Amino acid sequence: QHHLQCGTLSRLHDGGNGTCGYRVYRDRKAPHNAYTDAAHLQAGIDAMGYSQEYKEDYEGHYLFAEDGVEIVPEDGITANTVKLDNFTDNHPWYEYDETSGEYKRFQFGKEHVDQLDNQQITCDNIILQYSSCPAYDGNGYLNIDAISGGEGKFITRGKAIDIRWEKDSPWGITHYYDGNEQEIRLNQGTTWVEIVQNDRIDSVTYQ
């Protein structure tokens, strides 16, 4: 993929061993100006010596619906509009488009547009993952707990259901389960996972 042709680029290094990305400075401030592409990622993989083969016991990450099957959560609450006011800076929200079956993303009061193609960002599935997020240091960075497990929401096709998530190790796969303790199955397409701080869950609204 090509990226923005913006002024000065500052390379990002993975531990100083290989270049895996770069920064743009014309219209974005750190840390929100970091970009990468296939070539940079491959350079980082090569520099670190990472394997690109699946392990023999790898069974995939998410579970997806079969071809031609649509997942509409049973007993879900209406979620045609999902507002995430827990993010106090950009105030993002999603609006469900019944024609396409996708959610359109908005932030800062307008469409959230991909600067590569000038198209509004959409997704088929939204996972809200409730997590504790204590302060990491005095600079305002958060130490997001993505390991201990917790509650959340699975949102797709205009519906939202309660879920829980768990992870068996820091490098393990995060699994999401519905109220019947069945691992959720996503609609084919794009999935957006939003981390929601435990103390800001009530600021998420559904219409």
pLDDT one-digit tens code per residue, 118-167: 999 999 999 999 999 988 888 878 899 999 999 999 999 999 999 999 99
**Residue 9 and residue 173: Cα distance in Å, rounded?**
34
Q: Where does residue 6 rank: exposed (0-12), middle (13-18), buried (19+ CB within 10 A)?
A: middle
Give the pLDDT confidence score for residue 106 in this predicted structure.
97
Q: Is the dihedral of CA 182, 68, 156, 192 positive or negative?
A: positive
Q: pTM for the full model?
A: 0.83
Give the pLDDT confidence score for residue 83 in this predicted structure.
97
Residue with tokens 């392990």: 55
Give the pLDDT confidence score for residue 88 in this predicted structure.
83
Read off the pLDDT of each residue in 44-59 and give the average, rounded to a whole number.
90
Nearest by Cα to 123 from 100, 145, 107:
100
Q: How far is CA 169 from the centre of its chain?
A: 20
HSE on the CB side for 124, CA within 13 Å? 13
The total number of residues shown for the chain amounts to 207
Q: Which tens digit of pLDDT belongs to each residue from 70-87?
A: 999 989 999 999 999 988
The residue among 13 and 196 whose pLDDT is bigger is 196
**Residue 99 and residue 107: Cα distance in Å, rounded?**
22
Give the pLDDT confidence score for residue 140 in this predicted structure.
78
CA geometry: angle 38, 40, 46, nearest 5 deg: 100
**Residue 106 and residue 63: Cα distance in Å, rounded?**
27
**Residue 9 and residue 22: Cα distance in Å, rounded?**
6
The residue among 26 and 160 whose pLDDT is bigger is 160
Give the pLDDT confidence score for residue 111 in this predicted structure.
97
